[in-house]
Amino acid sequence: MKTINTEVKLGPLALRNPVITASGTYGFGEEYAPLCPVERLGGITLKGITPEPRMGNPVPRLAETPAGLLNSVGLENPGLDEFIASYLPKVRELPTAAIANISGFSVEDYTHMARALQKESGLAAIEVNISCPNVKHGGMHFGTDPASAEQVIAAVKAETDLPVIAKLSPNVTSIVAMAQAVARGGADIISLINTLLGMSIDIEKQRPVLANTMGGLSGPAVRPVAVRMVWEVSQAVEIPIIGMGGILTWQDAVEFLLAGASAVSIGTGNFVDPQAPLSVLEGIEEYCQRHGVSNVSELTGLAWKGNI
Catalytic residues: 132
Residue 270 marked ligand-binding: no
Helix (H, G, I), strand (E, B) or coil at 28: coil
Residue 171 marked ligand-binding: no
Beta 62-65 vs 125-129: how paired, if at all? unpaired
Residue 73 marked ligand-binding: yes
C-alpha–C-alpha distance, residues 60 and 213, integer Å: 10
C-alpha–C-alpha distance, residues 99 and 242, integer Å: 12
Q: What's the CA angle centered on 143, arms 139 and 147, to 5 degrees?
A: 85
Phi, psi (5° rounding) for residue 278? -70, -45
> Residue 56 burial by CB count (10 A; 0-12/13-18/19+): exposed, middle or buried?
middle
Residue 23 marked ligand-binding: yes
The CA distances from residue 303 to 236, 242, 260, in Å, are 15, 16, 8
Taking the alpha carbons at both ends of the chain, their separation in whole angstroms is: 32
Residue 195 marked ligand-binding: yes
Residue 38 marked ligand-binding: no
Residue 268 marked ligand-binding: yes
Residue 75 marked ligand-binding: yes
Q: Where are the beta strands (DSSP E) in the chain?
A: 8-10, 13-15, 19-21, 43-45, 62-65, 68-71, 97-103, 125-129, 164-167, 189-192, 196-199, 201-202, 207-208, 214-218, 241-244, 263-266
C-alpha–C-alpha distance, residues 103 and 101, integer Å: 7
Residue 243 marked ligand-binding: no
Residue 48 marked ligand-binding: yes
Residue 167 marked ligand-binding: yes
Give the number of other Cβ atoms within 10 Å of residue 60's Cβ.
Answer: 15
Residue 47 marked ligand-binding: yes
Residue 43 marked ligand-binding: no
Binding residues for substrate: 47, 71-75, 129, 194-195
Binding residues for FMN: 23, 47-48, 101, 129, 167, 193, 219, 245-246, 267-268
Binding residues: 23, 47-48, 71-75, 101, 129, 167, 193-195, 219, 245-246, 267-268
